[in-house]
Chain A
Amino acid sequence: MSVAPSETDNESTNCLTDNCAIVGGPTMMNRAVVEGSALALLAVFVLGLWFRARHQARPTSDGGYLTRDEIGFEIDRLQSQVYRWLTTTNHRDIGLLYIAFGTVAALWGGMDAMMLRTELLTPPADIWTPETYNALFTTHGLTMLIFFVLPVFFGIGNYFLPLLIGADDMAFPRVNAIGFWLLPPALLMARFGLLVQVGGQVLSLFLPEDTITFFLSIREVSIGWTLYAPLSVVQPNPQIDLLLLGLHLSGVATTVGAINFIATVVYERADGVDWSNLDIFSWNMMVTSGLALFAFPLLGSALVMLLLDRNLGTTFFATEGGGAILWQHLFWFWGHPEVYILFLPATGLMSLILPKFVGRKLFGYQFIVYSTLGLGVLSFGVWAHHMFTSGVDPRIKASFMAISIAIAVPSAIKVFNWITTMWDGEIKLSAPFLLCAGGIGTFIIGGVTGVFLAVIPIDILYHGTYYVVGHFHLIVVGIIPMLMIAASYYWYPIMTGRWYDKRLAKFQAGLLIFGAFVTFMILLVIGGLGLPRRQAIYPPEYQLAQQIATVGAYIIGLSALLWLYNMLVSYWQGAIVKTTDPWNLKATNQFTREWQWFEDRMVEKYDMEPATPDSTRRSYAPELQPMGLLGGVGTVAEQVYQNASLAAISGFIGTFLMSGGIGTAIVIGVLDPASFGEIAELIGFQQNPYIGAGLFLVAGTVTWPLLFLAFQEYLPGRRMFETGLTFATLIATGFSVAFYSGQQGLALVGYLTFVFVAHWAYGLGLTVPFQYLQSRRKRAMEE
């Protein structure tokens, strides 16, 4: 990259201020102004949307203009509302405050993400400087991890945990309020750099530089969210101190909240709620709180030590003192449990919400509880896997590797139980379900890629690459926000008495899942190719991949805005809930306590009749399982025999049809008949194409039809021919691999085309005659 020296010396007039290099930092584009303006615009948009929706939803008496009395009434109302929200100790109010706060933090941290992704559209650092880019990923990480995720989960917990366990409120309502109100100043301190920078920009328009030195000496922290020593000790930016204080304050808030959750679950449970039937979300919140109780005080201590090193000359993290590695140990001893503090509430929500939308009770309740407890304990024994590239003793590293691999087991137990819960269920394709399914998918990929990183040699290769970014973002932009949003939809009727826009919600859920997959799968791939993370500048050959990832990130951002729009507008304009059981949970005996609370309230407030379902069954009732498409009467043995014989006839027809396609492929030379010989060899005969073709015919007549009969209920498709086509597509995939003999170019295209078309003919030949014969059989029996 060539850089020509500047031709003039007076280009400083191009800056917003004469001292722009100091005020805004050495920015290409002024980050403070851009981010401040974007956030201000967003705030105006949200407030405008809220008031517009409210205005449209309320009746207007006369000509539509406000009278003086009405304005006075509005001001009084505003005052009383401000007073109420500032002083409330009601757990539901505080829950909403937490959620609102977390949403603000998410938008702020999300704006950082959009800005840094925009920089990555092009290989050079030509929109932001590298330092600004460093600041963006630092503040993005801190804001999202500390001020977005846990506050939102604490909010959901505050609102619903007491309802789920039948408590009147949290154990310590005033402490609860204090715990929340510590967070806003904590966020302001942590992000003070941006506010000061914006303030400096504005003030410098009116005041001389000497009088606003304070505003010119602070800027956003750019040392990475892990605040590694020695950089965090030696860099003079005073904002680092404010950040440390803000983080410390947030840690105090979290600890206070955690104590409250534990006390509430232990002491405030209603009669009849014990450890064996405590709902799974409350279990998870309790374990999360336990982790927070042990982890956050340690973070607080480490932060104070860093503050002392920076300001009072102590040497905790200096080479001549404790050493820089000490910071890494202390930080990650908090940091890895923090991962589970963020993740466990999401799994609790998954285990609570998913069964409601598949009509089955949660599979393996006890094992899920044990896996949660197991994760809680193990999460304190894996921290050094973040330090595999440091100089820690290899024998100690090996033990951390073993535990890091082992911690995958309880996570896998959860995934197994969720999938088993869904298996053969009556799935309702609502937005909460889509998000649950998307969350499981992203978690599987994010989790499995993490197991690889637990292995020391692999971690050493990939530690500094985008692979790590892709891995953990598939969790933190996968199951975590997806379940937050799923919960917001699931409980929206309770919180507001209205429905959200269901179509928009499904659409938004699909967008979020799609965006997360596109963005972070790309990052996994480019990381696997070795692209280093944390760099504003990258080699041009990665540009296309980075651009696709950026577009994916924008889609995530747009989906977040659509969610916000849905929540705000539906609050005023959503359809009113006219039943006490909006999700028809009574039909499957899953009407849990929070809904009972809702029903009682609706009965009390609106004199509604408690909802009664058309039919009631246990959430898992074998007698009501779908009969499948085969139907039939008679003994099991008779049915098996009759179905098998029909399948054999149909299979023969299907194989005959298929042979046409396969034969044509052989004639035109895109399929090598010799590959049939391998089938004969496979079962011990000589490699002979004729024997192979005979076996192929037998398999097509007997084996595959029987397999189809066994599995067809579980294949996608409403009609039997649809499932037949699905089945054929699946076996065609296997066939195309097994019979591939090195075709290239057009021959390969022809080979694949004939293989798939021939199999689809087989699928239709198998299912259509089967249905025809079945219908004849039924008619004969009826006669």
Chain B
Amino acid sequence: MAEESILFTYVIPFVGVLLVAVGIGGAVPGGYAIIQEDITTCDQPTIAVEGAEETQQRFNTTSPDLARFDYAELSDAEQRTFEEALTDPVGEARINGSFPNAPAFRNGSLVSYEGDEHYVTVVSENPCYVTPALQFPLGVFAIVFGAVGIATPPIYRKLIELEERASFT
């Protein structure tokens, strides 16, 4: 075989890998954006609830101007989430429903529950992933096109073999 073509052996596959990598970056989140509303509950913030002891330590020496709530004042979803967070291994839970006290919670609030005060705050807004409609199809196209680029060297060698065979006939 004649001297190996660097273009077909290395350059085009390299461009192919670049395309695949960019395509993954487009297609995976793009695909997620399409199905996220079916599989997740985005746009529902996560709150963190501190234990009574930690809350007491936090405000031992300072008394900041925070909103204060009684547990009963919270909405059903807020109450449910509050209790979930209290039993959660890392003290966090996701609001799954009406969240009327969101502005106060974002700023940090104190909630009285069974005689103790707990510091509550929003730790994550969990926004929905927003993406252009073309991102997913273009990403998939880039992956497929890139895969063809990666497969170029064996295709190129096959074509040369074919040509050499043809020249003897």
Minimum distance in angstroms from A16 CB to a CB of chain B: 8
Question: What sequence of 0s and 1s flags, for each residue 110-147 of chain B, a beta carbon within 8 Å of any chain A beta carbon?
Answer: 00000000000001111111100000000000000000
A507 touches B88 (CB 8 A): no
A11 and B96 contact, Cβ closer than 8 Å, known pairs A122-B29, A506-B10, A551-B21: yes
B42 touches A555 (CB 8 A): no
Contact of B46 among A1, A5, A26, A511 (CB under 8 A): A26
A488 touches B (CB below 8 Å): no
Minimum distance in angstroms from A140 CB to a CB of chain B: 18
A28 touches B42 (CB 8 A): yes
A8 touches B45 (CB 8 A): no
Minimum distance in angstroms from B12 CB to a CB of chain A: 11
Q: Which B residue sits closest to A7, measured CB to CB?
A: B98
B10 touches A507 (CB 8 A): yes
A29 touches B89 (CB 8 A): no
Chain B residues closer than 8 Å to A217, beta-carbon distance = 89
| Complex Cα gap A430–B43 (Å) | 52
What does DSSP make chain A's interface, helix, strand, loop or mixed? loop
A130 touches B (CB below 8 Å): yes
B10 touches A15 (CB 8 A): no
Q: List 18 A-B contacts (CB under 8 A).
A: A3-B43, A3-B102, A3-B126, A6-B97, A9-B98, A11-B44, A12-B41, A12-B96, A21-B81, A25-B90, A25-B92, A26-B124, A28-B36, A30-B39, A219-B89, A547-B25, A555-B21, A558-B17
Chain A residues closer than 8 Å to B18, beta-carbon distance = 551, 555
A503 touches B153 (CB 8 A): yes
Chain A residues closer than 8 Å to B28, beta-carbon distance = 118
A6 touches B32 (CB 8 A): no
Minimum distance in angstroms from B3 CB to a CB of chain A: 13
A131 touches B97 (CB 8 A): no
Interface residues of A in 214-237 (CB under 8 A from B): 217-219, 222, 234-237
A416 touches B (CB below 8 Å): no
B92 touches A550 (CB 8 A): no
A4 touches B (CB below 8 Å): yes
A5 and B96 contact, Cβ closer than 8 Å, known pairs A122-B29, A127-B32: no
Residues on A lying within 8 angstroms of B by beta carbon are 1, 3-6, 8-12, 14-16, 21-22, 25-30, 118, 121-122, 124-127, 129-131, 217-219, 222, 234-239, 503, 506-507, 510-511, 514, 547, 550-552, 554-555, 558-559
Q: Which B residue sits closest to A134, measured CB to CB?
A: B90
A126 touches B128 (CB 8 A): yes
A5 touches B40 (CB 8 A): no
Question: What sequence of 0s and 1s flags, for each residue 16-34 of chain B, a beta carbon within 8 Å of any chain A beta carbon?
Answer: 0110111011001100100
6 closest A-B pairs by beta carbon, nearest first, are: A9-B97, A554-B21, A237-B89, A126-B129, A5-B99, A26-B94
B127 touches A126 (CB 8 A): yes
Chain B residues closer than 8 Å to A6, beta-carbon distance = 41, 43-44, 77, 95-99
Contact of A126 among B13, B45, B130 (CB under 8 A): B130
Chain A residues closer than 8 Å to B54, beta-carbon distance = 234
Chain B residues closer than 8 Å to A129, beta-carbon distance = 46, 124, 126
A11 and B21 contact, Cβ closer than 8 Å, known pairs A5-B98, A126-B130, A131-B124: no
| Complex Cα gap A591–B95 (Å) | 67
B89 touches A550 (CB 8 A): no
Minimum distance in angstroms from A691 CB to a CB of chain B: 48
Chain B residues closer than 8 Å to A125, beta-carbon distance = 124-127
Pick the most buried of A6, A15, A21, A121: most chain B CB atoms within 10 A of its CB: A21
B25 touches A21 (CB 8 A): no
Contact of A554 among B9, B24, B41, B97 (CB under 8 A): B24
B70 touches A (CB below 8 Å): no
Q: Which A residue sits closest to B24, measured CB to CB?
A: A554
B76 touches A (CB below 8 Å): yes
Chain A residues closer than 8 Å to B88, beta-carbon distance = 22
| Complex Cα gap A511–B102 (Å) | 48
B124 touches A130 (CB 8 A): yes
Chain B residues closer than 8 Å to A507, beta-carbon distance = 9-10, 13-14, 153
A511 and B14 contact, Cβ closer than 8 Å, known pairs A5-B98, A26-B46: yes
A11 touches B41 (CB 8 A): yes
Q: Which A residue sits closest to B48, measured CB to CB?
A: A131
Contact of B43 among A4, A238, A239, A511 (CB under 8 A): A4
Chain B residues closer than 8 Å to A10, beta-carbon distance = 97
| Complex Cα gap A514–B28 (Å) | 22
| Complex Cα gap A438–B64 (Å) | 55
A131 touches B21 (CB 8 A): no
Chain B residues closer than 8 Å to A126, beta-carbon distance = 42, 126-130
A21 touches B96 (CB 8 A): yes
| Complex Cα gap A16–B38 (Å) | 10
B93 touches A (CB below 8 Å): yes
Q: Which B residue sits closest to A222, measured CB to CB?
A: B90
